[in-house]
Amino acid sequence: MTRTGRRPGNPGTREAILTAARDAFSRQGYAGASVRRIAAAAGVDPALVHHYFGTKDELFTAALELPFTPAKVLPQVIAGDPDGIGERLLRTFLGIWDGPGGQQGLAALRTMLARDAEVGLFREFLISQVLRRAVEEYGLPDAAVRVPLAASQLIGVVLVRYVLRLEPLAGASVDWIVATVGPTIQRYLTGELPAPGPAD
Amino acid sequence: MTRTGRRPGNPGTREAILTAARDAFSRQGYAGASVRRIAAAAGVDPALVHHYFGTKDELFTAALELPFTPAKVLPQVIAGDPDGIGERLLRTFLGIWDGPGGQQGLAALRTMLARDAEVGLFREFLISQVLRRAVEEYGLPDAAVRVPLAASQLIGVVLVRYVLRLEPLAGASVDWIVATVGPTIQRYLTGELPAPGPAD
């Protein structure tokens, strides 16, 4: 097969869109970036961006190469007994990294954490895709404080289990991790926490 | 000032020792690596390694460019009321990353997490410098299970506060983080935890 330049389905076109998306989300934030301008920067029609990547949310997730879209995952986590939200979130999260796309997602996470340009993109992802939803769509009280705390434990577990591969977390069953670490996530999301004091 | 080749104090000599140390610790582990062989690989006398870097523990920490040596930090954390160990550990840990060497340490941590070769070195560091001490020197019950859990939360807080710079953790006072996250570390280190089940 010879390469005949850009066309629908051409990996070069997909990559050009993702590059333009990373640049736009990184410089303008999620709210400021537009699919229309991303398409223009990539030299394609906006309809092609939607055809390849779906919604703006899904384009953002694809640009980060993360194996999940919060808009699809969060509803099932948040539905149900509030006392089980910590365990459900952790179980769902571990399932994602254990599942298809998990390995590629890990590589993307590690790269993002290492590079200043991309770490800002990851922060914007957490703010616009996770935190904003928790506030606006699910009305989680004190989400702006609680979600980053939960994120700190979730990111730490992912790094120790899948990247550092430190036992017992590396080889432990999901059930054991959920029973052990789930109460931490639960407390951060719904438990009593000290009021934030002034920064020092 | 002209460069006149290797000599005591020459940055090239220090770097050669650190490179040989990284290679040895990475391939042979902490216990298997020897200062004598590291010195030989770097083309220097073992006494020079000790002169520059102190003990084998300190050489390991220097090789990782981390801003602390567990052998020096852990005694002050572990001394005192066992019910305050979580808060002391977290407060000490945040002080290290906020202090001199913190920025360089963060850069080193991010690089290690991103590279397969170095992630093994970091795991070996946690096992030989932190976990082994907790077991052998301080007799922490179930340290092999508890220390990695505490590490997952500590690493997560460092990444969210200093790398992702996600509020409120980025700008929060150390007191607030200690009051909020300290109980998690305390529970992992001394609280009741589920018995590890079979891996799945």
Segment A58-86, tens digit of pLDDT? 899 888 888 888 888 888 888 888 899 99
- Please name the member of B126, B145, B164 whose beta carbon is closest to the beta carbon of A119: B164
Segment B15-30, tens digit of pLDDT? 999 999 999 988 888 8
Asked if B174's CB is within 8 angstroms of A168's CB, the reply is: no
CA B93 to CA A110: how far, in whole Å?
22
Q: How far apart are the first and last CA of chain B?
A: 62
* Residue B7's pLDDT band (cuts 50, 70, 90): very low
Q: Is the dihedral of CA B2, B3, B4, B9 positive or negative?
A: positive
- The residue in chain B having the minimum alpha-carbon distance to the alpha carbon of residue A143 is B168
Contact B154, B185 (CB under 8 A): yes
Sort out which chain A residues have CB atoms less than 8 A from B160's CB and list them.
Answer: 148, 151-152, 155
When pLDDT is averaged across residues B119-143 and rounded to a whole number, the result is: 86
Shortest Cα distance from B98 to chain A (angstroms)? Answer: 11
Shortest Cα distance from A172 to chain B (angstroms)? Answer: 5
* Distance from chain centroid for Cα B109: 9
pLDDT given at position A92: 93
Segment A94-137, tens digit of pLDDT? 999 998 888 888 988 998 898 888 888 888 888 888 888 888 88
Asked if B181's CB is within 8 angstroms of A159's CB, the reply is: no
Segment B91-103, tens digit of pLDDT? 999 999 998 888 8
CA B25 to CA B33: how far, in whole Å?
6
CA B160 to CA A144: how far, in whole Å?
13
Sort out which chain B residues have CB atoms less than 8 A from A161's CB and list them.
Answer: 152
Question: pLDDT higher for A39 or A134?
Answer: A39
- In chain A, the domains with their CATH numbers are 11-64 (1.10.10.60), 70-190 (1.10.357.10)
- The residue in chain A having the minimum alpha-carbon distance to the alpha carbon of residue B109 is A114
Contact B52, B12 (CB under 8 A): no
Sort out which chain B residues have CB atoms less than 8 A from A98's CB and list them.
Answer: none
Is the pLDDT at B200 greater than 70, yes or no? no
CA B115 to CA B108: how far, in whole Å?
11
CA A103 to CA A162: how far, in whole Å?
9
Is the pLDDT at B9 greater than 70, yes or no? no
Residue A115's closest CA among B79, B164, B36, B60?
B164
Contact B78, B89 (CB under 8 A): no
When pLDDT is averaged across residues B145-154 and rounded to a whole number, the result is: 94
Neighbours of B157 (CB within 10 A): 26
When pLDDT is averaged across residues B119-137 and rounded to a whole number, the result is: 86
Burial class (CB in 10 A: 0-12, 13-18, 19+), B48: middle
Residue B161's closest CA among B147, B148, B174, B146?
B174
Neighbours of B46 (CB within 10 A): 15
* Residue B1's pLDDT band (cuts 50, 70, 90): very low
Sort out which chain B residues have CB atoms less than 8 A from A153's CB and list them.
Answer: 152-153, 156, 184
Query: Which of A112, A152, A155, A177 should be substituted to probe chain B, the one whose Cβ sees the most B Cβ atoms within 10 Å?
Result: A152
CA B64 to CA B119: how far, in whole Å?
10
DSSP B146-196: HHHHHHHHHHHHHIIIIIS--TTTTT--HHHHHHHHHHHHHHHHHS--PPP
